[in-house]
Structure 1
């Protein structure tokens, strides 16, 4: 979450920027530092047909069972339901669920296989009692409060409520969720604390999608990586336009701009990006010279964090940060000095290439 930034006095931003500030096509009209993406308390389950592993009814189940999100565009109904907002179209979309089914259920995505961790059929017999699926779904995204920019007590309160949401989702699946055979509930779903390494069966820490972001020497904007915005700015053909080329690139990434529902009341913001690079300037704070961000806390905006936050890109950022620290120490240079001198930057890029780091997309 970028916890070191306030501790070290490093300048940072949170939430969403105003369109007047970034000139981004999908930015908010007004800046809101408290408008942050949902976080999730994930959990793992398997399914033992014919058995009953129903958990105790969660304390807040009545609230979450009837909870209808207030968002723009509108959410289609209750959060605990198999109909949600399709991220790209903004329209209601039906999902399926069947622990014994395939990738689709009655023509809809089967949530069981969506984040299935273990497919028992791919292992030796009796290795696993059944498939194991990770529950990190739209239905347990928590967006009623933030973990950043609030007191410790408030943060703990939101984590507690997010846990209640996840447990309520499980209880709903076990007792009320519609089944393909016309019945309700899947009591054979078994919470797996052993997988999570916790007593309550939920993840040890929240899955956080949005961090504090450094105020960087260079900030990646939507016009650099967003397909539509890039096409508008460059006036190139939409079929051939490419992301901005960064001469100080230290990595690559590719994922659509994917912002989950936020605490400010925004529904999904999801649209096409272009295969992009990770600029070194986005890893350098504007003032502090001995701190290097290593994940989703680099110099992006609320919008562009939607594609730089994904795990493979975070790993790439981490690789670049580790290589940068090593190179700077060995050469007795500050990270900023490396970027400011062409020869030093080129030497560093040669160094990271030798570590197997790709810094540009190969042209087809």
Structure 2
């Protein structure tokens, strides 16, 4: 028999969006429950082993107050607990791993501990409850409202959760599906969205982005850490995806912009003009031995193009098919590790890097793989307003300066439209975008009144969701959803009423800005010029080194 528990807010999904949602709701005095399918909270930054992927201005503008607090706490954690050299300890913008992916590349277990620290006082006050290793199994709805969610643990234990609002912060939009909310998945047709880079033919729901089962690796010279040959190694050793220039297990990849063959070795001695090494090892290195006293070595997060699994989709298929896809993704990652340890051409001559050691002691898993796969695409709600390429894409807004401005902004974000290879054999899509706002309309479902998206399941398209899915974007969406639920409970209003009523909207935006600490618009910018990573450089008035209010 299941036990029943009542909360103001039920948040299903323990990733960054789920964590930020309950933190926002707690600040508004709501009692929330966070249902995490893993024992680690944090999703992509922790259980999925993906260090923060952020826009170029993250140090000064473009995130919420609590996301900045999270970043500050990560740096403080290293300063307090690691034997940092003096130069690293006093660095104002310490990057623990010196990873190329962003200015704050750090270990996933540190992210988990920091997030637990942020949740701890609210748990102590009784405003946040965390249920771990639990998944939503059933949803009860009545009169266009969610009434309850039945969650189930690994041993079959169950709990029925009731509440005023229900938030979906899962990686695949599981609650949206279980609740019967109108949604879409896969790739839309350009005839439907008008997007220049959408599919020219009919929509394809099974055109879904690759997933990656990441791992942590350390470099241990003079040791042999070769793993057992994976069961499916022969299959993956011979596999060549439709969009790939050759065998997937090699150092040659398909360039994400040009789609031409490009070498991405594990190590390279070549440096760019800025002294950056664009090899695999330094891309997502999460611990840089140069920052530490002797007896420490590098640790990197392996989530590389050769590990992108795109053979089978996860959404819209039955449970056995989904389990097969996840199993194959694990086998691909282990096969790539075995290939690197045994067959890969070395940068210094010879073959194989047996010095590579998988760090299951840091991931909490027996094989060194992350606890959860990195999933880039979710079910997306049918919402009152849909964010499309024409709102944020540089090329799609030819002749216009900046992204579309939204009167109902609930946050800001910035990331290129980055869509990985798909299960339909389509190559990467990489499109320059302007820094943009997240409209409240993209969080309001067309029918269900008390269900809100809190991750990458907002009202966006296959393309624009690729610009909203990374760490600060997911955090902002979750925080906006948690605050919206809290506001609606306190004002006895519905999300659609908040959006349609100028007075309520203005009051809610004031709560976001003043109480929660959400930036609602980007600073004014004067000039945008080509830039390799995003396609632009933003110069603001005042300078970006000054934080906006």
Fold conserved (TM > 0.5)?
yes
The CA distance in 2 between the partners of 1:120 and 1:343, in whole Å, is: 54
User: Which structure has greater strand proportion?
Assistant: 2
Instruction: Give the structure 2 partner of residue 14 of structure 1.
Output: 185
Change (3 A) 1:117 1:297: same
1:118 aligns with 2:297: no
* CA apart distance, 1:103: 6.3
Instruction: Give the structure 2 partner of residue 356 of structure 1.
Output: 517
Q: 1:80 aligns with which of 229, 249, 256?
A: 249
Q: 1:41 aligns with which of 213, 216, 220?
A: 213
1:126-151 Cα shifts (integer Å, max 9, x gaps): 3x3x1111110100010001111111
Q: 1:307 aligns with which of 449, 467, 472?
A: 467
* CA apart distance, 1:121: 2.0
Change (3 A) 1:125 1:102: farther
Name the SS of the counterpart of 1:350 in structure 2. Answer: helix
1:155-192 Cα shifts (integer Å, max 9, x gaps): 11111111000000000110111112221110010111
* CA apart distance, 1:123: 2.2
CA contact (8 A) 2:311 2:423 kept: yes
Instruction: Give the structure 1 partner of residue 419 of structure 2.
Output: 259
Instruction: Give the structure 2 partner of residue 193 of structure 1.
Output: 360
Instruction: Give the structure 2 partner of residue 23 of structure 1.
Output: 194
How big is the alpha-carbon RMSD for the aligned residues of Structure 1 and Structure 2? 1.6
CA contact (8 A) 1:252 1:277 kept: yes
1:233-275 Cα shifts (integer Å, max 9, x gaps): xx43xxxx11000110000011111000000111001110110
1:147 aligns with 2:314: yes
CA contact (8 A) 1:103 1:110 kept: no
CA contact (8 A) 1:50 1:188 kept: yes
The CA distance in 2 between the partners of 1:76 and 1:257, in whole Å, is: 23
Q: Which runs of 5+ in 2 are unaligned?
A: 1-171, 525-539, 541-549
Instruction: Give the structure 2 partner of residue 284 of structure 1.
Output: 444
Instruction: Give the structure 1 partner of residue 495 of structure 2.
Output: 335
CA contact (8 A) 1:103 1:113 kept: no
* CA apart distance, 1:67: 1.0
Instruction: Give the structure 2 partner of residue 5 of structure 1.
Output: 176
1:185-217 Cα shifts (integer Å, max 9, x gaps): 100101111111112221111110000000010
Name the SS of the counterpart of 2:325 in structure 1. Answer: helix
The CA distance in 2 between the partners of 1:185 and 1:145, in whole Å, is: 29
Name the SS of the counterpart of 1:227 in structure 2. Answer: coil
Name the SS of the counterpart of 1:109 in structure 2. Answer: coil
CA contact (8 A) 1:27 1:303 kept: yes
Q: Which stretches of structure 1, 4 residues or more, deviate above 3 A after TM superposition?
A: 101-104
1:70 aligns with 2:242: yes
The CA distance in 2 between the partners of 1:189 and 1:172, in whole Å, is: 11
Name the SS of the counterpart of 1:229 in structure 2. Answer: coil
Instruction: Give the structure 2 partner of residue 247 of structure 1.
Output: 407
